[in-house]
Structure 1
Amino acid sequence: MARTRTAPRGPARPTGSGRTVPGPAAVGLVALVLVTALAVAAAVHGFREPRASLRSSSEPALPSASPSASSSPAPSPSTAAEPPDTPRGDGRDGLRAADGLVPAGTTVFDDGVPAVSGLDPELLEALRRATADAADAGVVFHVNSGWRSPAYQDLLLREAVAEHGSEEEAARWVATSATSPHVAGEAVDLGPSAATAWLSEHGAGYGLCQVYRNEPWHYELRPEAADRGCPDMYADPAQDPRMQR
């Protein structure tokens, strides 16, 4: 039996058509190159795509823009919040600071507040001297009421009648707009209690006197008090002859 000779393996061999056919080693090399190229491409693509996930978990995400936020109109003056220095009771029965309503924390140096600027100049000057001296002793004066418009005084009187049940009883606390020293700019109501306590001891030296025993906050100017002391107090406004007009 004749032995068949096996042709040696080589990288490529010519065919009858004249084309070169790659050998098994060459085919394996090409496949390896392709697989490596695909692996590199996949790695590069995977590195680029999830960059957003590299942000620290503690870092907040940026908020998305809201279409409604950019299109919302600015608030009109009628709907805007009131400023922080709005007077207490502002808008009550149509009254405002121009009627003598007092912002919280007002002092005798607040010329921009009508309740202060409407006071008699001599009364205001005495109040400012006393306030400055009291401050050296650590005592602060606040103006709770000063000049008032007739409309404001009338409102206070109506409220007093409703509270006390009669005009006679209300007159012990609130005068009419025709007789009130507040409407004339000749009276001021002060606080807190430390301020009125200081004035009860030192006020006469500035001509500042408590006029009614039932109103320790109500002070008026009595210039002669600096030499002779404050006059006797009335029990209440109803006992004051000025209120009988």
Structure 2
Amino acid sequence: MPTTPRCVDWRHEPRPAISADTPSKSSSTAAPHASRSERRGALGETDGAVPAIPAVANLDPDLLKALRHAATAAADDNVTFYVNSGWRSPDYQNQLLREAIFTYGSEDEAARWVATAATSPHVKGDAVDIGHSDATAWLAKHGAEYGLCQIYPNEPWHYELRPKAIDDGCPSMYANPTQDPRMQQ
């Protein structure tokens, strides 16, 4: 589901979101993030809802490394990666799902665009949404070289790490998230 861009511009240094020592979810230096219920407030940085470090720092470290390598290569082609969305808290994922149900009028139609918090690879830190169209076009052409694969044709911005793609190419896409067995929980 297209949303208002919430970006991390991969060009600018020294942004903590892309520095060499950015904490990842497996890093012992990563700061714990309070849940929405603990903060009793609106969704914010620690939910991955705004252009902030948690959306990138809480990504799987191998996904983040692949994104950095691909972004560096893309920059040689004058293409900039913008992370519109990366890691999301369960609260934020549930908010996106509620918004999609409102927008599309039913849970079934919303499921074509937004997963539940229990099934979303974003909540696990295993997915990233990239913008602009030149970056997604670059990834469509070169992403497999870095293990970065588009998963659904209806979401050209959504990429996940598939390490075997480096040697074998990206696997076939699912028509949309409703066809993805991971979403059937």
TM-score for the superposition, normalised by structure 2: 0.77
Partner Cα separation in structure 2 for residue 191 and residue 170 of structure 1: 21
Partner Cα separation in structure 1 for residue 94 and residue 77 of structure 2: 38
- For these two proteins, the number of residue pairs brought into alignment is 147
Match for residue 95 of structure 1?
43
Residues 132-178 of structure 1: per-residue CA shift (max 9 Å, x gap): 01001100000000000000000000000001010000000000000
User: Helix, strand or coil for the counterpart of 2:153?
Assistant: coil
Structure 2: 5+ residue stretches without partners: 1-5, 8-40
Match for residue 184 of structure 1?
124
Runs of 4+ aligned structure 1 residues displaced above 2 Å come to: none
Superposition pairs of residues 103-122 of structure 1, within 5 angstroms: 103=51, 113-122=53-62
User: Helix, strand or coil for the counterpart of 2:50?
Assistant: coil
Residues 162-216 of structure 1: per-residue CA shift (max 9 Å, x gap): 0101000000000000000000000000000000000000000000000001000
Partner Cα separation in structure 2 for residue 147 and residue 132 of structure 1: 21
Which of residues 232, 238, 241 is equivalent to 2:172? 232
Identity, % of aligned positions: 67
Structure 1: 5+ residue stretches without partners: 1-86, 104-111
Task: Say which structure, 1 or 2, has more relative contact order (CA 8 Å, 6+ apart).
Answer: 2
Match for residue 30 of structure 2?
none
Which of residues 51, 71, 77 is equivalent to 1:137? 77
Residues 107-139 of structure 1: per-residue CA shift (max 9 Å, x gap): xxxxx6100000000000000000001001100
TM-score for the superposition, normalised by structure 1: 0.59
Which of residues 120, 134, 141 is equivalent to 1:201? 141
Residue identity opposite 2:106 in structure 1: S
Match for residue 63 of structure 1?
none
Deviation at 1:102, TM superposition (A): 2.8
Superposition pairs of residues 1-245 of structure 1, within 5 angstroms: 94-103=42-51, 113-245=53-185
Supply the RMSD in Å over aligned alpha carbons: 1.3
Partner Cα separation in structure 1 for residue 79 and residue 124 of structure 2: 28
Partner Cα separation in structure 1 for residue 88 and residue 137 of structure 2: 24
